[in-house]
Amino acid sequence: MVRQALARGLEYLNVLGPRKTFQLISRIPADKMIRLSKALDHKKIIFVLRETPLSKSIVILKKIPEHTVIQLFQELESEDLVYLLTHLESDDLIHWLNKVPVKKTISIIQIIRGKEAYFLMRDLGMQRAIELVQEIPDKKLFSLLKSIPIHEVKQLALELTAKEIKLFLSKRPIQDLEVLIPHLGTENLILLVRFFGMKKALSVMQDLGAEETVLLFRLAKKMKLPKMSKKEISQLEYKMKEAKSKKQARKKKASQKTPKKKTAKKKNIKKKALKKNVKKKNVKKKTAKKVKRKMQ
């Protein structure tokens, strides 16, 4: 055991050099490094330490729980680890791993690889990326990442909220996106959602199906529509908004009325019950009086 530890120590020294090895030993407890070397392929550890900024690697090794480090090194490719440790800020990676389960993180990286995982975090922003992977259930998220090009996923995630994407995936199969994104276009799909609202857009897709939705919009593109002035378009938009607001107002009124009716009904029921109780009491009193008279 001692010989093995010494041999590994010498290997660290040979590969990393005296300066880096001294930094590593002085910052990371020796027993922790021995445990990691036992649990993992120490050559993989050395490779990652050699290829990444040592200061970052030391922070990660110190601040991330040992079992998490072991899982990451066991499950991920060396190249993915190197890319993430090189390009991600240590605090960002630690923050991510505090918010997202390590198994989910590993699965995401295995699907899209380290480079794309980094760009996903960078382009969406760490918080938005975390919200996306937290909000969407694992199975749906992994299907999305496997089926849809990552740049399209990023575009969706930048324009729609994580909750909207979750709602879409909960109501429609991933196959819909496989049809809509390449044939309708991500931008047009987002416009459709923005125009109708997510619930109505889902209703349209429910009625038509993904294929028919694509064909309908492609047909609309071919149509020679009558010319409309900007004023006419704005008038239509105004009428549409007005109709929507009226509809919402009616819904509000209806929702406000129903509780009142219910409470009124409840009050009537209570009144009737009280009357019945009073009648029963009166009947009891009368019968009691009759009994007394007879006794006399």
- The DSSP string of 200-263 is HHHHHHHHH-HHHHHHHHHHHHH--PPP--HHHHHHHHHHHHHHHHHHHHHHHHHHHHHHHHHH
Q: What is the phi/psi pair of residue 52, to 5°?
A: -115, 160
Extract the tokens encoding 30. 């020796």
Q: Which of 35-49, 227-241, 275-289 has the lowest mean pLDDT?
A: 275-289
Residues 183-223 pLDDT 10s: 999 999 999 999 889 999 999 999 999 999 999 988 988 88
CB 165 within 8 A of CB 157: yes
pLDDT, average across residues 143-153: 95
Extract the tokens encoding 93. 């990676």
Contacts of residues 251-260 at CB distance under 8 Å and 24 or more positions apart, as own/partner, are none
The candidate with the shortest Cα–Cα distance to 148, out of 125, 171, 180, is 180
Which comes out higher in pLDDT, residue 209 or 37? Answer: 209
The candidate with the shortest Cα–Cα distance to 148, out of 182, 103, 189, is 182
Question: Which bin fits 173, alpha (ψ -120 to 50), beta or left (φ > 0)?
Answer: beta
CB 52 within 8 A of CB 82: yes
CB 30 within 8 A of CB 58: no
Question: Which bin fits 136, alpha (ψ -120 to 50), beta or left (φ > 0)?
Answer: beta
CB 105 within 8 A of CB 114: no
Contacts for 163 with CB less than 8 Å, ≥ 6 apart: 135
Q: Which of 80-94, 105-119, 280-294 has the lowest mean pLDDT?
A: 280-294
> Is the CA virtual torsion 54, 58, 59, 65 positive or negative?
positive
- Please return the burial class of 93, using the count of CB atoms within 10 Å of its CB with bins 0-12, 13-18 and 19+: buried
CB 8 within 8 A of CB 42: yes
Half-sphere exposure in the Cβ direction for 61 (13 Å, CA): 27
Q: Where are the domains of the chain?
A: 1-135, 145-231
- What is this structure's pTM? 0.76
Quickly state the pLDDT bin for 251 (edges 50, 70, 90): confident
CA dihedral 240, 242, 246, 252 (to 10 degrees): 100
Residues 70-100 pLDDT 10s: 999 999 999 999 999 999 999 999 999 999 9
pLDDT, average across residues 245-258: 78
Instruction: Please state, as a whole number, how many other Cβ atoms lie within 10 Å of the Cβ of residue 291.
Output: 10
Alpha helix (H) residue ranges in 64-137: 66-75, 78-87, 90-99, 102-124, 126-135
Q: What pLDDT score was predicted for residue 36?
A: 87
pLDDT, average across residues 156-171: 95
